[in-house]
Amino acid sequence: MEKINTTSKTQPPIYIQISQDLRNLIIKGHFQQGDQIPTEDELVMKYGVSRMTARNAVTELVNEGLVFRVHGKGAFVARAKLQRSLNKITGFHQDMLEMGLNPKARVLDFEKRLPTEKECHRLNLRKYNKVFSIKRIRYIDEIPFGYQELIVPEFQAPKLDSLNLETESLYSYLKDIDKPIKNAEQRMEAVMDAHIAEVLGTPVEIPFFFFDRTSYLVDGTPVELLHSYFRGDKFSYTVSLSN
Amino acid sequence: MEKINTTSKTQPPIYIQISQDLRNLIIKGHFQQGDQIPTEDELVMKYGVSRMTARNAVTELVNEGLVFRVHGKGAFVARAKLQRSLNKITGFHQDMLEMGLNPKARVLDFEKRLPTEKECHRLNLRKYNKVFSIKRIRYIDEIPFGYQELIVPEFQAPKLDSLNLETESLYSYLKDIDKPIKNAEQRMEAVMDAHIAEVLGTPVEIPFFFFDRTSYLVDGTPVELLHSYFRGDKFSYTVSLSN
């Protein structure tokens, strides 16, 4: 755990920073399911914070289901899975940053090409409208967490090929050029996929969430097809439903 | 395929009935991924309907991603998975009926007991508030599609033990006693689970969607904990997102 900067105005509150440190240690496997995480006393000592701050840090992790408290004993890892919301249209990069993690991407393939018949249909394209097709592995630090294939019409995002897609986000770029994504339709499957496991270098017995997303601009134009595979042993997804 | 009743007022439109027949055949494995389904000409002959009606029936299945059309050739099975919406709070029984399928349930275990510490916490109960705990296998016809554990406080649904939970729905019962479910929070995981596979009698290499749902009444009282395992080879889930 690193020394926490209490002065910078861009830093989140200290209890959030402590919860980020702890989350990081859980996600990287330093603490595993069933392990006890540092007690509030230990956090008070380590970070030089009040007991209330230490308690709030742990409560953050309790609220997202990462740890549970046992009365009089402390807090233990419930499941070492990151929790993402399905109610928000956000990218992997932004979500991970907000959790205090260190997201990375490696571009496996970037091409500009003619669309397939299916892509024409789903993106409302003419046969001669070229698309960018980008394949990326998503990491947290050095650990592969997922694989994504992105299809975007060239005329919607003409400068996409000058973006550094290992560090920059399509969604931010679209916002910058006044084409923010308004809504999306997403389908999820639970799958085994030996090919994706090989690409990621993960054990074949890990199931993946497969997401098939179509994203739309304010005027209803489809602007993105996104096929994602995220590790079932690393993620869970929440959704709020109302009648 | 059975003869279609065109007179009853409770029947859906004919094109929906034809799409239900076809969906049934796909889900039961009569047509598998990549197989061609009957052509529009064949549907016209078989059901004695117009070409437009036959076309509409196939379009239903195209729209839910079950089949895709190949120009000049016909329609083929894209994936033999049922599509359910995550945006609606509906039960399995109702969803399957709406797709024209034949849902069944088998109660493995029904008990009235004191709540666990976790259940007390999540359902806002006192230690002495008893709960109903119900374990059910969900079928379509004779094929197991999922497993569910339901926890409901006795005082919220006092007659639950006189309900036939193989044919009747908790959600309908709650509506009948003026306690309709207003909203829910749901967490999803993609998991392998040898125990659940054994209970269902399904191959161990099939991944499951695991759902952990808490449902709330209009006044915010939690009324249900529902743990569900649904077969990843039989279901996909859609969600609409907006910013």
Can you tell me the distance from the alpha carbon of A214 to that of A150, in angstroms, rounded to the nearest whole number?
10
For residue B162, the 8-state DSSP code is: G
In chain A, the percentage of residues whose pLDDT exceeds 90 is 72
Higher pLDDT, A23 or A87: A23
Tell me what the mean pLDDT of segment A151-174 comes to: 90
What is the pTM assigned to this prediction? 0.88
Residue of B nearest to A90 (CA): B243
- Alpha helices by DSSP H, listed for chain B, are 14-27, 40-47, 51-63, 92-98, 117-123, 170-176, 194-200
Q: In percent, how much of chain B has pLDDT > 90?
A: 72
Yes or no: say if B123 and B131 are a contact pair by the CB < 8 Å rule. yes
Among the partner-chain residues B182, B240, B241, the one whose CB lies closest to the CB of A242 is: B182
Question: Distance between CA atoms of B223 and B131, rounded to whole angstroms?
Answer: 10
**Residue B178 CB-density burial (10 A; 0-12 exposed, 13-18 middle, 19+ buried):** exposed
**Most confident range, picked from A76-90, B79-93, B160-174, B210-224:** B210-224
- Confidence at residue A29, expressed as pLDDT on a 0 to 100 scale: 85
Alpha carbon distance A225, A220 (integer Å): 14
Report the relative pairing of strands A222-231 and A235-242 from DSSP bridges.
Answer: unpaired
Q: Do B232 and A189 touch (CB under 8 A)?
A: yes
Predicted pLDDT of residue B79:
87
Chain A closest CA to B15's CA: distance in Å? 24
Express each pLDDT in A92-137 by its tens digit: 888 898 888 999 999 999 999 999 988 998 999 999 999 999 999 9
Q: What is the pLDDT of residue A1?
A: 45
**Average of per-residue pLDDT values in chain B:** 91
Instruction: Count CB atoms within 10 A of the CB of residue B39.
Output: 14
Distance CA A164, CA A172 (A): 12
pLDDT band, residue B168 (cuts 50/70/90): confident
Task: For residue A236, give the nearest of B181, B188, B205 by CB distance.
Answer: B188
Query: What pLDDT is stored for residue B111 in this prediction?
Result: 96
Alpha-helix residue ranges (DSSP H) falling in chain A: 14-27, 40-47, 51-63, 92-98, 117-123, 170-176, 194-200
Residue B236 near chain A (CB below 8 Å): yes
pLDDT of A34-60, one tens digit each? 999 999 999 999 999 999 999 999 999
Interchain CB contacts (distance < 8 Å): A and B: 103
Share of chain B above pLDDT 70, in %: 96
Select from A134, A137, A107 the least CA-distant residue to A197: A137
A27 pLDDT tier (thresholds 50, 70, 90)? confident
Is the Cβ pair B184, A237 closer than 8 Å? no
- Record: contact A185-B81, CB cut-off 8 A: no
pLDDT at B9 over 60: no
- Within a 10 A sphere around the Cβ of A123, how many other Cβ atoms? 20
What pLDDT, on the 0 to 100 scale, is given for residue B105? 93
Q: According to the model, what pLDDT value does residue B4 have?
A: 52
Query: What stretch of H or E contains B69?
Result: strand B67-70
Q: How far is CA A153 from the centre of its chain?
A: 23
A9 pLDDT band, cuts 50/70/90, is: low
Q: Do B190 and A183 touch (CB under 8 A)?
A: no
pLDDT at B6 over 70: no
The answer to whether the Cβ–Cβ distance between B86 and A87 falls below 8 Å is no
Residue B65 has pLDDT above 90, yes or no: no
Per the structure block, which two tokens stand in for A107?
């571009």
Indicate if the pLDDT at residue A169 is higher than 90.
Answer: no
Three-state SS for B77-107 is ECCCCEEEECCCCCCHHHHHHHCCCCEEEEE
**What is the dihedral sign for C-alpha A41, A43, A49, A53?**
negative
Residue A2 confidence class, pLDDT cut points 50, 70, 90: very low
d(CA B236, CA B78): 13
B107 token code pair = 């109660």
A9 close to A19: Cβ distance less than 8 angstroms: no
Identify which has the larger pLDDT, A159 or A167.
A159
State whether A65 and B187 contact (CB < 8 Å).
yes
On the question of pLDDT at B167 being above 90, the answer is no
Tally of CB atoms within 10 A around B147: 24
Is it the case that residue B24 has pLDDT exceeding 80?
yes
Is B13 in a helix, a strand, or coil?
coil
Nearest C-alpha in B relative to A64: B187
Residue B86 sits at the chain A interface (C-beta within 8 Å): yes
What residues of chain B lie within 8 A of the CB of A82, using their CB? Answer: none
Cα–Cα distance for residue pair A53/A16, rounded to 1 Å: 9
Q: pLDDT at position B1, please?
A: 45
Kindly report the nearest CA distance between residue B3 and chain A, in angstroms: 34
Residue A132, beta-bridge partner list: A112, A152
**Which residues in A lie closer than 8 A to residue B185 (C-beta atoms)?**
238-241
All domains of chain B in start order, with CATH: 14-77 (1.10.10.10), 86-238 (3.40.1410.10)
**Mean pLDDT of all residues belonging to chain A:** 91
3-state secondary structure of A236: strand
